[in-house]
Amino acid sequence: METHYVCRGECGGVSDEPQAVCQMTDCSKHAQHMTPCNCSDDKHEEVREDKHQEEMEDNQ
Give the binding site for Zn ion (CB under 5 A): 7, 9, 11, 13, 22, 24, 27, 29, 37, 39, 44
Q: Which is nearer to Zn ion, 7 or 51 (CB)?
A: 7
Nearest to 15 by CA among 48, 58, 24, 57: 24
In sign, the C-alpha dihedral spanning 5, 9, 44, 46 is positive
Q: Where are the beta strands (DSSP E) in 7-53?
A: 14-15, 35-37
Tell the smallest beta-carbon distance from residue 60 to Zn ion (Å). 24
Tell the smallest beta-carbon distance from residue 56 to Zn ion (Å). 20
Q: Which is nearer to Zn ion, 2 or 60 (CB)?
A: 2
